[in-house]
A and B are shown apart, each in its own frame.
Chain A
């Protein structure tokens, strides 16, 4: 059974204080790892897809990386507007036919001014 574990559960940063969120996964065969951002009262908003170990994607202050066992979401010089819950999800080989994702429980990021 696929498992996705995100850490920490909550992270408080000062504005400008860089850090990383972790997503560890166990799947039979990874076909994609997805990062989402979720604001209160909203649905998850897609950020990145990573398909193979060594791949990196960047968007503004966010950078996602992937190894064979985990993914990191690096936040450089965060701003208060980066405060949100960040979700990680994996697509494994068995789920590709209909796109079944297994989600982690998320990391709640709070950035103080």
Chain B
């Protein structure tokens, strides 16, 4: 199994509160990704990173920010959570070009 740990695994919070999800890898892979998975939409890319302090937006980045201060950690922040951000969030890592991405087991986030 790829060494990817997501935390927390479950979280319930209220609208308007800040939320930070963490992805930690032990593989020393360069690329890291955050996805959300929703019924009817499949997996959609939120943000990605191609190195320490190097990040960029994916297709559904509004309302989310990310940071990567160390190779092993990639943080996803919802500055002010909304109910539409209730979802399951997955982190993925990739080593080199054309190689597959490997996924963590996700964080189930509920915003009430």
A residues near B (Cβ < 8 Å) are 31-32, 34, 36, 41-46, 49, 51, 87, 89, 91, 96-101, 103-106
Contacts and interface: CB of A to CB of B under 8 A. Distances in A.
B48 A98 contact: yes
- Interface of chain B: mostly helix, strand, loop or mixed: strand
A97 to B, nearest CB: 8
Contact of A104 (B42, B92, B105): B42
Interface in B58-111: 58, 90, 92, 94, 97-106
Interface string B2-14: 0010000000000
Contacts of A91: 98
Contact of A99 (B4, B41, B97, B104): B97
Chain B interface extent, by class? 20 to 34
Nearest to A89: B43
Given A43-B103, A46-B100, A98-B50, 20 more contacts: A31-B98, A36-B103, A42-B105, A43-B92, A43-B105, A43-B106, A44-B103, A45-B103, A46-B102, A49-B98, A97-B50, A98-B31, A98-B56, A99-B31, A99-B99, A100-B48, A101-B101, A103-B43, A103-B44, A105-B42
Contacts of B97: 96-97, 99
Nearest to A96: B97
A98 to B, nearest CB: 5
B98 A51 contact: yes
Given A44-B43, A104-B42, A96 B98 contact: yes
A32 B12 CA distance: 37
B52 interface: no
A103 B35 CA distance: 11
A42 B106 contact: yes
A89 B100 CA distance: 10
B16 to A, nearest CB: 28
B45 interface: yes
Given A42-B105, A45-B103, A99 B94 contact: yes
